[in-house]
Chains A and B, each alone.
Chain A
Amino acid sequence: MDSRDLFEILVREHIDSVRAFLLSTLRDGVAAEDLLQETFLVAWRILDRYDRKLPFGPWVRGIAAKLILNHRRKLGRSRLHYCDDEVLTHLDDSFHKFSQLSGDTFDDQLDALRGCLSRLTGPQLDAIKLHYEHGLHCKEIAARLGIGFEAVKKHLQRGRAQLHRCLEHKIVGEGAA
């Protein structure tokens, strides 16, 4: 097995979590795909700088974060969410903790999120489903649910906060177990 084959295994293992990291920062899905490719290409080119004592996931997310910051101007506000070092550091920390959930793949780890979603109820669940599963915008959700635009925003924010708390409990629970 040569280095390229080994790198392929690493890519297969980490590409989904790095993609989720980019999707949390980039509004535009195409831009996220472009940066995902670039992130792993850069990782390949500078692999000799990688400290083998450290896990690969945080290292490659660090490359993604640097690329996002470097490309902010080029990407433009319509393709990007607000980001700075502090937000990216918090995000990296969250993804790192998420990676400690049990499961062989990122998709296995997403089962924790699926479990948390199944506990969500009421307008928060409706708003989350309509936005993320059906791809509706806030205004469309507002019309569908017969509530105001600001109320939809709050339901989405509260739904996400509830999911975040649920994931934290799962991570802490698994850590304790």
Chain B
Amino acid sequence: MSEHDPMPESDIPAEWRQADDTLADAAAEHVPAGSQGWLAQQRFVHGLLRALHTADASAREARLQNLLQSIDAERAAAPRTGPRHWLLVAAAALLLATLGVYAVLPPRLPTAEAAVQRVVEHLARDVDLRYQLLFTATAADGEQKLRHEFDLVTRPGMHFLVDGKLSFGAMQLGEFRIGCDGQELWARSANGAMRRAMPIAEREKLLQGLGDVLDLGYLDVHALVRRLPEDFELKVVGSEQGEGGRRLLRIEASRERGGRRPVLRSAFLLCDEQTGMVTRLEVQAATGRGARREIAFELVGEEPAGTIDYRRPW
């Protein structure tokens, strides 16, 4: 259940097996580098099996009573004064636990994975988020071939509207709006002279027609971020102070082997540590022969509910 790729049992190195001290008389003094994930898997099942075979209702109740007596003794010895925030805290914790609300953050963390999970949760909300989107394409020699700025509004489930000006060298395509309502993909020029629509499954045709500038997969920001823990090594690389003194985490996602999207190389997220709100996201994709594309998303804000229509306007 770790994030690591499972290694076939036959490939587990002998020294890792030796380092598994669940069967030894004393703790290993050190373990080989890289073995911790496998050791933790062994330990996890070891702990579950021990718990399973030592489950005893009366022992459990005695354990609980011991603990509660200790708590009562502490309360009696040192009654607290002043505001008791913990009453609300405990009530909220109970409510959260009962509802099964998901989030992870033990005090020794945050891990990048936990932060990204919160980002995914935040983005999964049924709201419309507006981003400024900067798209650049750079050749292998470093020369910038394309630079486009778009306005993007998106919500989970492949809903988006993109507005911007397209140009390819000397060829000007003018202002465009591209939209998708989760089922149908459509594009329309600002003057209405050009308009096309097609089922989302045929999106490649429309992309080619527009010069393959945008991979629309990137525009579903929620789906994009949700994939990161599966395909990328995540790392918190820093933090900074955001609006209102909130702590923003800088998370780097670099490619692990065996990912599902061979072209997407790395991503960079700036997100609120507590809420998971993404304020900036950058993705970098390799397009072969050393060329690369970069898309930077800058959060503008949340749109008022019910004001965005993703359906084709004709």
Contacts and interface: CB of A to CB of B under 8 A. Distances in A.
Interface residues of B, number: 74
Interface in B28-61: 28-31, 36-37, 39-55, 60
B122 to A, nearest CB: 12
A140 interface: no
B44 A132 contact: no
Given A164-B41, A167-B1, A48 B274 contact: no
> A interface, by DSSP: helix, strand, loop or mixed?
helix
B102 to A, nearest CB: 7
B173 interface: no
By CB atoms of chain A within 10 A, which of B1, B6, B94, B274 has the most? B1
Contacts of A171: 1
B63 A15 contact: yes
Contact of B36 (A54, A78, A90): A90
B27 A81 contact: yes
What is the size category of the interface that chain A forms with chain B? Answer: 35 or more
Given A20-B51, A81-B22, A37 B70 contact: yes
Interface stretch (B106-114, B190-198, B215-223, B263-271): B106-114
Interface string A65-103: 110000000000110111111111111111111101000
Interface in B56-74: 60, 63-64, 66-68, 70-72, 74
Nearest to B113: A93
B2 interface: yes
A80 B25 CA distance: 10
A98 B54 CA distance: 19
B260 interface: no
B91 to A, nearest CB: 6
B84 interface: yes
Given A19-B51, A81-B43, A82-B21, A65 B90 contact: no
Given A81-B22, A160-B42, A62 B97 contact: no
A96 B40 contact: no
A50 to B, nearest CB: 5
Contact of A24 (B43, B60, B74, B89): B43
A57 B93 CA distance: 10
B9 A11 contact: no
A101 B28 CA distance: 32
B51 A16 contact: yes
A176 interface: no
Contacts of A10: 90, 93-94, 97
A47 B84 CA distance: 10
A69 to B, nearest CB: 9
A12 B93 CA distance: 13
A87 B39 contact: yes
A28 B204 CA distance: 60
B106 A92 contact: yes
Nearest to A39: B67
Contacts of B54: 23, 29
B101 A55 contact: yes
Contact of A82 (B12, B39, B45, B93): B39
B1 A132 contact: no
Interface in A11-49: 11-16, 19-25, 27, 29, 33, 36-37, 40-41, 44-45, 47-48
Contacts of A8: 64, 68
For the complex of A and B, list the 6 residue pairs with the smallest distance between their C-beta atoms, beginning with the closest.
Answer: A24-B47, A62-B106, A90-B40, A52-B92, A20-B51, A94-B1
26 contacts: A7-B71, A7-B90, A11-B68, A19-B51, A20-B48, A23-B47, A24-B44, A37-B70, A44-B71, A48-B85, A48-B89, A52-B88, A52-B96, A53-B274, A62-B109, A77-B29, A81-B21, A81-B22, A82-B30, A87-B40, A90-B36, A98-B44, A113-B52, A133-B53, A154-B17, A163-B49
Interface of B: 1-3, 6, 9, 12, 17, 19-23, 25-31, 36-37, 39-55, 60, 63-64, 66-68, 70-72, 74-75, 84-94, 96-97, 101-109, 111, 113, 274
